[in-house]
Amino acid sequence: MSQRSPTLSLALLLIALLSSLIGGCGKGSGQSDGSADPRNPYQPNPSGGVGTLEANKNLAILQQRFSSAVISPTPWATYWWPYTTNGIEAAAAKYDAVRSSGAAAWERGHHGQGLGDVADWWGHCNGWAAAALLTPEPRSSTAVNGVTFGIGDRKALLSETFLEVTGDFLGTRVEDPNDFSSEAFKDVHPAQFYLMLTHLMGNQKRGVIIDRYTGYQVWNYPLVAYATEPIRANDYLGADPRFPDVHRVNVTTTIWWPNPNVDPDVLTPSFSPSNPDEIFESRTLKYELWLDAAPKFDGSGKLISSGDIILSKEAGRVVGGQWKNGSLPAANSHPDFMWVPTGYSQASGYKNPQLDDAWVVSNMSGR
């Protein structure tokens, strides 16, 4: 880190764009090129955007305004339909009975044991994560042309439709199963993590998805809520001895997400941080943020003012804070990447092209 490194604008730092965000609970190819495994391409697109983000990076102000947030409506829980059990084949067979499309056969051959060398973590959690944020939860069975789709069937088809989406992406996916030290492993940086939560979930009330597995595997979960503990005087570590203009502060944040390994027919309860249902899981993350001026505290140790959070670039890489989760397994020490879905996109070879996306959204979501 260099104290002379320029601070990046929030929008520039937070957002890298994808038109087809495909990386979750399934083998992705990475961001660097689009040549990846044709069974699960991962294709970046440099166009698009989420619009202007509020550029306030003052820690004290953000803590006062957005120390916690709960997303409403609650992203719904369900199952992740692994490839080892042929993905959403059962729900696709019901779709075939109505639409005569061949969706079940495609699913078995492309998202199932027909692939031959299926990893046990490949599945549909990225599609579920996006659908759970963007569509109302199915809460009852529905009949279409005499075929009954249960809650789990409806969620399965929605999860398939949203396997390919438009969205905004932050972070570099880890590609090597033995990588626990590269720049790709170290991001998302703490400053980015904190600003994504406060600006998007706290200020804009938008849902955010994380890859909760820091290493090679991908497990995409939609965040339900976050809460950052009050920053007290004893959290201030003083100026960095090497860079006296950089002031270090310890921060602790808990994040919650719905469990994707429950009965597909589950009805998601309302979430409360003080009384989380067993449907929800949590993780508490500890990290250090860097400020450009010393924080100030009142007589009781409460934070009353501070400098801005530092986001800098050095030798072409982003720096901003330090993760401090040594008590956690390295592969679960912080989010590998974060993203915000905006809608589904047309099938390009990864999701099931035999499904009519508009039909699925119209007939399977809500109610």
Residues 307-314, mean pLDDT to the nearest whole number = 83
Percentage helix, strand, coil for the chain under 3-state DSSP, each rounded to 5: 25, 25, 50
d(C-alpha 102, C-alpha 95), whole Å: 9
Q: Three-state DSSP class for 271? A: coil
Mean pLDDT, the chain, as a whole number? 83
Angle between helices 89-99 and 103-110 (to 10 degrees): 150
Residues 347-365, mean pLDDT to the nearest whole number = 95
Residues 271-298, mean pLDDT to the nearest whole number = 91
User: Model confidence over 94-118: pLDDT tens digits?
Assistant: 999 999 999 999 999 999 988 888 8
| Residue position matching structure tokens 């905006």 | 342
User: Model confidence over 321-336: pLDDT tens digits?
Assistant: 999 988 888 888 889 8
Which residue spans within 212-279 are E strands per DSSP?
A: 220-222, 225-228, 236-239, 247-258
pLDDT, residue 313, reads 67
Using only C-alpha atoms, what is the Rg of the chain?
Answer: 21
Which residues lie closer than 8 Å to 329 by C-beta, 6 or more apart? none
Q: Three-state DSSP class for 91? A: helix
- pLDDT at residue 364 is higher than 50: yes
β-strands 247-258, 236-239: how paired?
A: antiparallel
Closest to 255 measured CA to CA, from 336, 172, 335, 159: 335
Cα 175 to the center of its chain, rounded Å = 17
Count how many residues are written for the chain: 367
Q: Quick one: DSSP state of residue 129?
A: H
Which helix (H) or strand (E) element contains residue 12?
helix 10-14
